Amino acid sequence: MKKLFVFGNEYLENDKYAHEVINHLENVEITKCRSPEDLLEEEGSILILDVVKSLEEPVLIEDLSVLKDRKMVSLHDFDLNFFLKLLKEIGLEKDIKIIGIPEKGNPKATAEIIKKWI
């Protein structure tokens, strides 16, 4: 069974959509991640589901270098993208793919689209 790591805050309107989508996925082991550190002990390839601001449709990101950097103002800005790049810099790079989804939409329709990547 494929494992899917889900990021986002289910209590924030613009960050909860991934949690709505997973309710429509079957035969997938779901791990709800509170922090990027949840990925540290994972062996093998890692598949992440997360909301990506300004996306209009789901996309599979296989090359993490295409992710935009944000300036960090506080520890609150320590996001998944920064963490993944930090792993690479310290030599702990992992085989990671991200399924990026828009902030809103039809959760069932989005689940149907992303099933081909899981």
**CATH number for the domain that contains residue 13:** 3.40.50.1450
Could you please report the per-residue DSSP string of 64-108? Answer: GGGSPP----SGGG--HHHHHHHHHHTT----EEEEEE-SSS-HH
What is the helix (H) or strand (E) element at residue 48, kind and residue range? strand 46-51
- The domain of 24 spans 2-117
List the structure tokens of 91.
């030599």
Contact, 67 vs 61, CB < 8 A? Answer: yes
Please list, residue by residue across 89-109, b when 16 or more beta carbons sit within 10 angstroms of its beta carbon and e when fewer do. Answer: eeeeeeebebbbbbbebebee
pLDDT at 86: 59
pLDDT of amino acid 76: 35
Structural domain total, the chain: 1
* Per-residue model confidence (pLDDT) at position 78: 40
Q: Per-residue pLDDT for the chain (118 aa), expressed as one digit of tens each?
A: 799 999 888 888 888 999 999 999 999 999 998 877 787 777 888 898 988 888 899 999 887 666 655 443 333 334 666 666 656 665 666 678 889 899 999 999 999 999 999 9
